[in-house]
Amino acid sequence: MKKYILILGGIFASLCALSQNIQADLIIKNINIVDVANNKILPDQSVVIDKDIITATGNIVAIQKKYKAKSTIDGTGKFIMPSLWDMHVHFGGDTLIGENKLLLPLYTSMGISHVRDCAGDISDSVIAWKKAIDENRLEGPSIFTSGPKLEGIKSIWPGDLEIGNEQELNIALDSLQKLKVDFVKITDNTLEPNLFLKSIVAARKRGWKVTGHIPATMTVATYANAGLSAIEHIGYLQRAASDKEDSITQLRAAGKISNKEAAVLYLNTFNKEVAIEKFKQLAKNGTAVVPTINGSYKTTYLDKFDFSNDDYLKYLGPAFKRTYGWRIQRAANDNAEAIQFRHANFEAAANLLPVLYKAGVTILAGTDAGFLNSYNYPGLGMHEELAIMVKYGLTPQEALSCSVINGPAFFGLQNEYGAVAENKKADLLILNANPLERIQNTQQIFGFLRKGKYLNRRYLDNLLSHLQKEVSGLK
């Protein structure tokens, strides 16, 4: 019996020894985990990371008994949360390819691990960058891209796939399939509305999510019912917030009122109860909304604020910054009446945000940052977007969810991202202050874990310093 007891004791001792020697790459100890989904802080935790996966979280005593790591970070007083996803950005300008590429490390420096590129005219370059980033040959966020978007004949936007019939639609979708795009985007400049609807159905049949701007000659529900996965920009939702949407839509389809006249009618016929019911139908259909409020806020209030001396401009190329001019000049040409109208129109749209949330619509945090979109900064813009979402009615937790939870879920990646938890990807943001307490605290970045690699504050500052030097040498 004593022999068996000794054998069992030896086995137990061996197992204990093994349990104390699980090797990992990194342990972050004594840190506060930001549990975004449950709107709470888990204090005094340790996070174990091996390669690009979180292998464990828990009390430091329990973690130290089981794991050993090549390196350790003391997270005392810090907060760790999932990295940010910007679900609407643009790379574009066929003469600005180099300056667009310089935006990639800018996103990294601001703790943004993933972006959704919503079309431009340099898709071949974007797809090459996407591959290089995935293969760790290029610094930057993981890119989901639509490639060139679908539009009608003689679209005003360069780089579009212009279609006028179903045959051309299928050819366009074949080309997107060859490019291996991640989703399809459709816009409403010259595309005939019925062909727009057919494009949604055809793209969905091929397995893509489909997002876009929506033509004014059919109701918002018509596009949602056809299978539209997301509506880009909150302004389009003003139509559905009107209790006269059907009649205004008919007038627009008949060409009896101008866009400006329609906008005034939407403003004057807002009905919150009607809006909630229509938005509930969007939620039922699974149609998300990407508000992109920050950029619109800045251009709306150019009469009140001067962004031309923003320090962040030093990180942007000179030709890229020059593309900001057309929106700035357009706003400068407005008279007092036009300025008052654009203020009212923006406020009406932005205040739909909590109404959408209350109705259960999935909201995706995106900036619309990129060329042409004045003072809507790549990288920093995501932090500003979250702050303005809070300004217009969401809580910090709700705003964060729109980025770190809803972003991955849109692409079916909710099991890999969205929480600081076991088996999740180690794309993590370490902050100096609690973002659930004050949303602006997302900008207090202490460090960034990207694919499990720790980028400390010095590394991030060096990225910015190097970028500033590169930009200063351009003309």
Task: Give yes or no for a contact between 336 and 261, defined as CB atoms under 8 angstroms apart.
Answer: no
- Rounded Cα distance, 150 and 321, in Å: 27
Give the mean pLDDT of the chain.
95
Q: Average pLDDT, stretch 381-392?
A: 98
Per mean pLDDT, which range of 37-41, 61-65, 336-340 is the poorest?
61-65
Q: Average pLDDT, stretch 231-250?
A: 97
Q: Average pLDDT, stretch 215-228?
A: 96
> What is the model's pTM?
0.95
423-456 residue pLDDT tens: 999 999 999 999 999 999 999 999 999 999 999 9
Report how far apart, in Å, the C-alpha atoms of 141 and of each of 36, 86, 93 are: 21, 10, 20
- Rounded Cα distance, 210 and 212, in Å: 7
187-206 residue pLDDT tens: 999 999 999 999 999 999 99
Structure tokens at 298: 């800045």
For residue 20, the model assigns a pLDDT of 56
Q: Is the pLDDT of residue 403 over 80?
A: yes
Q: Is the dihedral of CA 150, 193, 369, 93 positive or negative?
A: positive
Grouping H, G, I as helix, E, B as strand and the rest as coil, residue 145 is: strand
- Rounded Cα distance, 125 and 94, in Å: 10
CA triple 385-390-392, angle to 5 deg: 95
SS3 content of the chain, % helix, strand, coil (to 5): 45, 20, 35
For residue 211, the model assigns a pLDDT of 98
Helix (DSSP H) and strand (DSSP E) numbers for the chain? 21, 17
Q: Is the pLDDT of residue 17 over 90?
A: no
Domains and CATH numbers, the chain: 22-82+419-456 (2.30.40.10), 84-410 (3.20.20.140)
Q: Average pLDDT, stretch 46-69?
A: 94
For residue 472, the model assigns a pLDDT of 93
- Rounded Cα distance, 90 and 148, in Å: 11
268-309 residue pLDDT tens: 999 999 999 999 999 999 999 999 999 999 999 999 999 999
